[in-house]
Amino acid sequence: MPEDCEEEFYLSEYSGKLFVNLEDEEDDTEYLAGEARLFVVHAEAAEREGYSLFEVLDLRAESAAYMPLIGTEAGNFSAPVCRILGEEMVFSRNMLILDRLTIEPKFRGQALGLRYIRAALQRFSIGCRIAAIKPFPLQFEGKVTDSNKAEFRAATTKLKKYYGREGFRPIKGTDLMILDLEERFPDQY
């Protein structure tokens, strides 16, 4: 990758706090409900300028985890991704990575995570072919041990089912899930 490459050219990061109004309160007070971070990978622009998509994803540890989505064939996604998309060759590898989502304990169970995902898809998916997510229960971050592996697997399975409600599908051979944005937003394509 050329020396003058700055990651924000091809890997844009967006993060912020999530707020919610409580319906049973009479005032308009907003409460901190969580935090989120996502990346938009500008694959087409990077490749047009001669950059390897693998190198762009490798700029950050968080985005490097999504390398299994990229195929070995130039300009294409991996075979499992193409199968989900129902195409042999995908013409845009731009992607939205929903990297991190935390919901404060007192706001869990209200589908706020799915509301955030819907809002993020509406706002950030334009020009992207897929949205990707890695279901990982953050309460286990840096804490997966032999004694809690079963609990970790159960929590991960629960997250996969949760994201599946929004249309995300697991990628065989990985711990990633994708959403076909062309199918989700057909008027954009």
Q: How many Å apart are CA 38 and CA 42, to the nearest integer?
A: 13
Q: How many Å apart are CA 157 and CA 76, to the nearest integer?
A: 29
Domain 7-188: give its CATH superfamily.
Answer: Gcn5-related N-acetyltransferase (GNAT) (3.40.630.30)
* Percentage of the chain lying above the pLDDT 70 cut: 92
* pLDDT exceeds cutoff 50 at 183: yes
* pLDDT exceeds cutoff 70 at 115: yes
* pLDDT exceeds cutoff 80 at 79: yes
**Mean pLDDT score, 171-185:** 93
Q: Look at residue 171 and give its three-state secondary structure.
A: coil
pLDDT in tens, 13-68: 999 999 988 776 677 789 999 999 999 999 999 988 888 889 899 999 999 999 99
| Mean residue pLDDT across the chain | 88
Q: Which residue's entry shows tokens 């199918």?
A: 183
Burial class (CB in 10 A: 0-12, 13-18, 19+), 121: buried
Residue type, 154: A
Edge-first strand order for the sheet with 30-41 is 11-21, 30-41, 95-103, 130-133, 177-180, 169-170
Q: How many Å apart are CA 150 and CA 75, to the nearest integer?
A: 39
**Mean pLDDT score, 132-153:** 82
Q: Which residues pair with 51 in a beta bridge?
A: none
Binned at pLDDT 50, 70 and 90, residue 113 comes out as very high
**Mean pLDDT score, 86-107:** 92
pLDDT of residue 36: 96
Domains of the chain: which residue ranges? 7-188
